[in-house]
């Protein structure tokens, strides 16, 4: 597979394998971009930005709608690519591929809704007779850097609003799963996007990502990935706009007044979709002591029913993690918790990159399963004495992306919504829920800024203030 740089598909002297995590077989090879190719991407993007800012909104919208239709027509192929390169079950990959067209359609609309406002300048003495208003303008060159876990969805959450708003984009997808991004790029070019407006460059974070982040020709970096890399980006970016969608260890509180069978069934989805490799995966379940053992009992059945296997087999619900190293890391964290007094209720077995859906009870702050981001198919369950204790435990984290509570008590729900520091808070569901139009982004170490198409369009435009001075007064 070639990358799309400088308006053409090109290879590179060095390549790396893209490996299917489940089978270990090589799916394809991708170029590792050279320094000269990074430079070509940057200079082309500058030309692209000049073209895009002059392209009328209606034309941009039409191109995005055409790309949406092409992606819908090829959704099954795109789903297979997603499943192969990530190990994600095909049913989930179809869900992801099926959303991409609609996201481009939503962006095509939101890109035509960018508005400024008039300014009441005459409210300040001495400013009478002037006309003031704001214009929102494209930021220019946007660098979009994406992780492996949703190689279609998270790419489109960046490039669709960026292009809709009239920017040029350099996309650097994750090296483990770059093929979906290249497939989306091909559909956009086929749809008539000016070639310099989008470049998809492949290679590692240090060699390709970093020089892009550093470069002063780039006005905006939109990054989704780990908090560690997000911090590195803040240190080197210089004067740029940053959107950072980072890590998390999302909590959910279970109160005794809820139907804990429903809460348990929801947990069995929220903790294990995409083998727990979702930034809003449910990781920490905080259960009121009155229903602690009942909740654990109720969880066993739904977790045991999660079918493990080949991602391309229709009824597989969980497959391998992205790599054996990642699965071994999560296994180590489970062992560490058990050594410190936690109990494995179900799961815990590992075979290479495949880790069985696992529930660990009696997890406490101080254990990695509680303090760090697991990003694997493991729920840690912690006992709380009352709602105050539960809220304190939920907030006992350096992250703040998603959170949920199951309760029928409106007062508990209101306290949770107000007091838990997370960007997305759910009442009567797990944190693992997202609509593409809603504002989405973390507090604390989970990041800066919001995605969700309308909000990303806003972040990918800048405000210019215009004052017209009447000279005939
Ligand atoms: P990662 O941080 O290792 O890599 C993400 C991307 O950054 C990749 O394209 C990688 O090549 C690039 N990169 C790595 N080092 C870089 C550097 N020094 N400079 C520039 N780019 C660099 O993340 P990952 O392992 O691919 O994904 C998992 C992480 O992503 C988890 O922490 C997860 O929570 C997070 N994530 C967050 C969200 C969100 O919306 N908040 C969504 C999905 C994933």
Name the fold adopted by 250-427.
Aldehyde Dehydrogenase; Chain A, domain 2 (3.40.309)
Evaluate if residue 472 carries a pLDDT over 80: no
At 35-47, the pLDDT tens digits run 999 999 999 999 9
365/353 Cα distance (integer angstroms): 27
At 340-379, the pLDDT tens digits run 999 999 999 999 999 999 999 999 999 999 999 999 999 9
Closest-CA residue, ligand 1 atom 16, reads 205
What tokens were used for 69?
Answer: 């239709």
The mean pLDDT value for 178-183 works out to 98
Strand order of the sheet with strand 118-119?
118-119, 130-138, 461-469
- Taking the mean position of all CA atoms in its chain, how far away is CA 343? 31
At 205-245, the pLDDT tens digits run 999 999 999 999 999 999 999 999 999 999 999 999 999 99
126 alpha carbon to ligand 1 midpoint, in Å?
51
Q: Which residues are bridge partners to 378 per DSSP?
A: 358
The mean pLDDT value for 270-290 works out to 98
87/98 Cα distance (integer angstroms): 17
Does the C-beta of 147 come closer than 6 Å to ligand 1? yes
384 alpha carbon to ligand 1 midpoint, in Å?
32
| Domain boundary assignment for the chain | 3-246+442-466, 250-427
Does the C-beta of 229 come closer than 6 Å to ligand 1? yes
- The mean pLDDT of the chain is 97
Evaluate if residue 470 carries a pLDDT over 90: no
328/306 Cα distance (integer angstroms): 20
The atom of ligand 1 lying closest to the CA of 440 is 40
Evaluate if residue 448 carries a pLDDT over 90: yes
Q: Ligand 1 pocket test: which of 225, 234, 273, 277 has the largest number of ligand atoms within 8 Å of its C-beta? A: 225
147 alpha carbon to ligand 1 midpoint, in Å?
4
Say what the pTM is.
0.98
241/281 Cα distance (integer angstroms): 27
Give the model's pLDDT for residue 473: 54
Closest-CA residue, ligand 1 atom 20, reads 209
Query: Are 139 and 133 spatial neighbours (Cβ–Cβ below 8 Å)?
Result: no
The mean pLDDT value for 430-459 works out to 98
222 alpha carbon to ligand 1 midpoint, in Å?
11
Q: How confident is the model at residue 471 (pLDDT cuts 50, 70, 90)?
A: confident
**Whole-angstrom Cα Rg for the chain:** 24
The atom of ligand 1 lying closest to the CA of 279 is 34
The atom of ligand 1 lying closest to the CA of 173 is 9
Domain 250-427 in the same topology as domain 3-246+442-466: no
Does the C-beta of 225 come closer than 6 Å to ligand 1? yes
Does the C-beta of 373 come closer than 6 Å to ligand 1? yes
470 alpha carbon to ligand 1 midpoint, in Å?
51
Evaluate if residue 138 carries a pLDDT over 80: yes
Q: How are beta strands 461-469 and 399-400 bridged, if at all?
A: unpaired
460/138 Cα distance (integer angstroms): 6
The atom of ligand 1 lying closest to the CA of 233 is 19
230/220 Cα distance (integer angstroms): 14
134 alpha carbon to ligand 1 midpoint, in Å?
35
What tokens were used for 469?
Answer: 């001075």
The atom of ligand 1 lying closest to the CA of 230 is 2
For the annotated catalytic residues, the residue numbers are: 245, 279
Give the model's pLDDT for residue 342: 98
Name the fold adopted by 3-246+442-466.
Aldehyde Dehydrogenase; Chain A, domain 1 (3.40.605)
At 294-317, the pLDDT tens digits run 999 999 999 999 999 999 999 999
At 47-94, the pLDDT tens digits run 999 999 999 999 999 999 999 999 999 999 999 999 999 999 999 999
At 153-169, the pLDDT tens digits run 999 999 999 999 999 99
At 408-419, the pLDDT tens digits run 999 999 999 999
Query: Are 386 and 431 spatial neighbours (Cβ–Cβ below 8 Å)?
Result: no
Closest-CA residue, ligand 1 atom 11, reads 205
Query: Are 166 and 142 spatial neighbours (Cβ–Cβ below 8 Å)?
Result: no
191/64 Cα distance (integer angstroms): 7
């Amino acid at each position: 597979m070639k990358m799309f740089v400088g308006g053409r598909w090109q290879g590179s002297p060095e390549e790396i394998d893209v490996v299917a995590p489940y089978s270990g077989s090589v799916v394809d090879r991708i170029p590792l971009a050279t320094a000269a190719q990074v430079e070509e991407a940057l200079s082309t993007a500058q030309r692209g930005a000049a073209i895009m800012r002059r392209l009328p909104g209606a034309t941009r919208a039409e191109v995005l709608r055409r790309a949406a239709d092409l992606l819908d027509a090829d959704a099954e192929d795109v789903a297979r690519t997603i499943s192969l390169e990530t190990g994600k079950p095909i049913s989930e990959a179809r869900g992801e591929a099926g959303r991409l067209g609609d996201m481009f359609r939503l962006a095509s609309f939101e890109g035509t809704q960018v508005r400024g406002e008039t300014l009441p300048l005459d409210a300040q003495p001495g400013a009478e007779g002037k006309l003031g208003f704001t214009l929102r303008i494209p930021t220019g060159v946007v660098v979009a850097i994406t992780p492996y876990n949703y190689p279609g969805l998270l790419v489109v959450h960046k490039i669709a609003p960026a292009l809709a708003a009239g920017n040029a984009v350099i996309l650097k997808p994750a090296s483990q799963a770059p093929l979906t991004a290249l497939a989306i790029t091909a559909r956009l070019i086929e749809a008539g996007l000016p070639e310099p407006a989008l470049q998809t460059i492949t290679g590692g974070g240090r060699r390709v990502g970093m020089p892009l982040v550093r470069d002063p020709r780039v006005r905006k970096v939109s990054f989704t990935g780990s908090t560690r890399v997000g911090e590195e980006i803040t240190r080197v970016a210089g004067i740029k706009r940053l959107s950072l969608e980072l890590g998390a260890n999302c909590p959910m509180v279970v109160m005794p007044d809820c139907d804990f069978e429903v809460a348990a069934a929801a947990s069995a989805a929220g903790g294990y979709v995409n083998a727990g490799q979702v930034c809003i995966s449910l990781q920490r379940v905080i259960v009121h002591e009155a229903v602690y053992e009942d909740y654990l009992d109720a969880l066993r059945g739904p977790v045991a029913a999660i079918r493990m296997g080949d991602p391309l087999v229709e009824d597989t619900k969980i497959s391998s993690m992205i790599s054996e190293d990642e699965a071994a890391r999560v296994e180590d964290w489970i062992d560490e918790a058990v050594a410190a007094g936690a109990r494995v209720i179900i799961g815990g077995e590992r075979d290479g990159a495949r880790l069985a859906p696992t529930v660990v009870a009696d997890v406490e702050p101080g254990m990695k399963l509680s303090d760090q981001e697991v990003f694997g198919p493991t729920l840690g369950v912690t006992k709380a004495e009352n709602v105050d204790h539960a809220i304190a435990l939920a907030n006992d984290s350096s992250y703040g992306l998603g959170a949920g509570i199951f309760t029928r008590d409106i007062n508990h729900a209101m306290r949770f919504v107000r007091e838990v520091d997370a960007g997305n808070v759910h009442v009567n569901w797990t944190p693992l829920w997202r609509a593409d139009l809603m504002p989405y982004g973390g507090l604390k170490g989970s990041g800066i800024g919001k995605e969700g198409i309308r909000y990303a369009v806003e972040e990918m435009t800048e405000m210019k203030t215009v004052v017209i001075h009447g000279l005939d007064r």
